Structure 1
Amino acid sequence: MVDLHQEFQSSRFFNEARIDRRSVDALIGISAGLCADGSINQAEAVFLKEWIEGNLTHLDDPVVNLLYRRLENMLSDGVLDAEESVELFSLLKQFGGGQSLSSAGISMPGTLPLNNPAPVLDWNDRLFMFTGTMAYGPRKHCEELVLERGGQICKGLTKKTSFLIVGSFGNDQWLHSSYGLKIKKAVELREAGVPIAIVSEGHWQQAVFG
């Protein structure tokens, strides 16, 4: 609901927080519905962006804002390409997972099997792989930052992978999430003695930007 002229601010019937909460619940349902057929097309992405603009203008939830910024970026060139469609589908699957955003269904990863202590990230000819939703931006932009510093990107997790970077927005139930199998495989490789490190996006960003 958009109150452009603040006409309802003084009304005893107006409750902005309740309206936003209802809108968030609706967003969860819409996300689940859009994912029902296993893919997201451009028309659906445009619809979702316009729906958020029309219904969640008062909301400060960082995860919803992340979704909106990602939609803006994906649609800025007027085309939702195949890679963007897959990324958007993964993000919406998290929204439509059956829990409200305020109940830790989507949260900062705290139970992830990250390397402790976090390793030094060196770049030259080291193989990087990203999983989950990156707060910095689209995965391809993150990959470009690695390439600019002399690192390489691997499309599949192997014994040659040096670093698996886990996006800042992830599901605590990581083993059952859309990217949990990559983490599970990385843990198995690490326990078998393969020198692969699982690190957070925050640690990666610190290495990139200092």
Structure 2
Amino acid sequence: MAADVLFLDVETPNGHNDRISSIGLIRCDCKGTVLAEDSYLVDPEEPFSEINMRLTGISHADVAGAPTFPEIWSRSLKSLFDGAALVAHNASFDLAVLWKLFDAYELDRPEWNYACTKELAKQWHPEYPDYKLPTVCRCLNLEMGSHHRALDDADACRRIFHSLIMEDEGHVPMFAPYSLGTGCGRRSNEGAPRGSAQRAKSEKTADYCDFLNLCEMIVANDRVDALEAMSALSYVEEHDKLQGDPLLDNVCSLLAAALADGDIDEHESDQLVGLLQGIINPCSDGVSHRQVQIEGKKFCLSGTFYHGSKECIKQFILQNGGQVLSGVSKKCDYVVVGDEGSDAWTTKNYGSKVKKALELQSKGDDIQIVSEDALGL
């Protein structure tokens, strides 16, 4: 173990996670005695996003006239970091931000050995409901200041660390070398394909397809973490054509709500996985034909059908007492998606009719999106 330990927390201005707006640090010796502590507001020299301002309480106005990170680093931070092992709660986030911050400013990055109190709490207390900073403090009966105030969070991390060590009869956990990717880094959508539709897309549609590709990468492991949620929010914020899209506004609201305390627990992750999978492939739930009532209901058809032409599917619905509409509206009960897809679709899994149905669903309308098998053909 290093002679000293540096407990830290950073707050970020936006979803890029390569700048900081605040940093809090507490340096202790090997016995836990506090040697130094400090916190700084930092001019990130980058825009602030709405979600991060709500999360951290720090805005453009708060950092007006504040020093930049290189100024703080050379003036005081370098000496605080020197020779110390690093400890943070959810360290993969804080250290990834710092790693990219050094790269952004082309600063010489010191070698870091680190431990994560979130991971330590998971190992020693698998019974906890989640491992967010406030939850772990509450379960360990530790006092905590204001969450997302950098120095308060660093102090909470310090208290957790020493509490867990005391539980383990003073055994100090191993510190591991850190490099970007050691923890859960942000997935990138760089180079992602624009979808499989053959016809030319508008800029908004192309951006929407790229967002779906990003979502597919995020849910590939059936888990959504805070960095991934922030990357999805950041993508929408950075693409003007997606602003005001009713479906994505709803998705972003739910992502922001899950990020309200800066971390995502297992329950929130499961909800987000379901949400994102639902907009990637709205027919993935496999509704049975026994659950679809045709008589007296209104249908809209999308795509090419395995069981026959669209006219054949229409006649089947009419013969069974249903109606077929030309477009999707609030009057529609079901959108039926053909199993053969369509080159005219704007995404690889659906087109504008399904997108409209998803938007209506996000507003609370009772419209279902089903595959053609759900009709019992």
Fold shared, TM-score > 0.5 on shorter chain: no
Larger radius of gyration: 2
Q: Which has the higher contact order (CA 8 A, sep 6+)?
A: 1
* Structure number with higher strand proportion: 2
- TM-score normalised per structure 1: 0.42
